[in-house]
Structure 1
Amino acid sequence: MRVPHLLLLLLTPLLAGWSQGTYIWQSDALLNHQTRRQELRQLRQHGMTDLMVGLNGAQVRNSSTPGALRALVQEAHANGQRVVMLLGDPAWITPKGRPQVLALIQRFRDLPLDGVHLDLEVEQLGWPVPASRLQQWITTVQAAREASPWPLSLSVHPRWFEAPTSAEMPSSPCVPCALKGVESIDLMLYQRNAKRVSERTLAIAKRWPQLNFRLAQSVEPGLPATESWRGSTASQLQSQVRQWQERLSPVGIDGVDWQDWASYPKDR
């Protein structure tokens, strides 16, 4: 029987130390026992082994959510997949909002999750970013790392890891210097120019060899065409992943994460 090209591509083993993941902000299908198996299978078929699972307000309040997450972790592990809790409200950066993210970590701390991922973009609270807000973000990250029973990972704009520019304030804290103990950092290099993505990622990895990086890419329909891979097929995306893998894995880049699963093409 002839195996479809896409299936052959997805069954090809990844290089050691490299994985592919996705942001899953809409997690109902994974938390529902009736749809969980099929959703995990589809994620696996498209190469997604690192699942960053977000929770909405209703799910956080639902008393059945911890049990559903526990069941998800068990089934995902049996399927060779990791489950990381995804937290992403920028209001948590501020001193007033910080206790909320710490309370969420505390609520779910007994679950056998593989990690917690903070997608708290300082730019979402306004640009330019004052040094005080950047310091608040660093303080929140450090507080979450201390409170979390799991490894902590982050999504961060690459500007904070690239060479300083004249537009940056001299008084701004050094973001990379403050991230000791963070398991991995997703560089949100949202560019359709794959060569330029590789060049910037390599430069950052060489500049900060003490940190572990992953590459974040977007397939979201709401972004400009120059920033999103929307319109690509899954086969095209996986082919591009293989190219990044060959170039970036040797310098320690751990993999690629797609923003987000709801927008990712599900080729048949």
Structure 2
Amino acid sequence: MIKDVEEKFVYPSETKQLTRDWVLMTVCKRWRAYKSRLKKKYFKRKERSLQEIISDVPIGVNKHQREILVGMWCQDSHMKLCEKNSECVKQQKNPHTTGRKSHVRLQKEMEIKRKAPVHKIDLWDEAHKKKDGNYTSENVKTIMELQQTKSKEGCGNVHLPHEHVITKNVHVENNLAVQQGGPEPSLRLHQVTDQDKVEVMLYSTNLRNKDKLVAKGTLESKEKTYVVGGNMLGVQYVAVRVRGCTYLGDEKLVRPYEKFQTVRDAMGSVIAWPRSHVKIVKPTPPAQSQSIGR
């Protein structure tokens, strides 16, 4: 397959391996989709006999390979797996239409198209719409209608499905960590409010400077959907506004963007930094006034 492609197309030698991986991935995806279309159109087990299905060979399909494929579809293990998958799909109250595309990728595409940040409500709305503009289920439609009603009344946003579960787990983990004598609640997924902003220290991601301080700043957000430089944080990063640098301030950003290439370049601006290399500065209690003895 690779040989056939390289005989017809020319691509830079620097990206040879990446291009080959992309070709194989694309071919596999197209092959799965093709087999799915064949099965949907010709494999009607309840309407036709097995012999009729095997003898009805589509144009362009090898007869011998067709028999092997139909034989695999007729296996009890394969049919049980298909039935189980069908049941699981029916149990989904809020099915999405993004397939294997992650919500992070979808949000990035929406931001490029709109040339503006995308709210999580708009992202959820887009991920649960069909090509014809209709929602995937009545439950999804009800949720979005409720959201529109609340927006008009100025009552804020409706809670999306599973959002309350994430919030609940965050509080449970925080409380458990404190009860077990661990550190203060670590950097979690909820949005940081102005009152919740705290001072943090950024440590080097370079192995040569392990555990060495690079900069200090204030925590802007821990929410995984927060966007910095056009990319969402995800679960591994937090957003920090850089307030000051040490002699290691020239360390390169993990996620450079625009004109910011190093930590020093981003003084006064917000950057994404690995959650594992950020520590909260615990506020020191005010010193008690002491009288000077004679």
Is TM > 0.5 for Structure 1 vs Structure 2? no
TM-score range, shorter chain: under 0.3
Scaled by the length of structure 2, the TM-score of the pair is 0.20
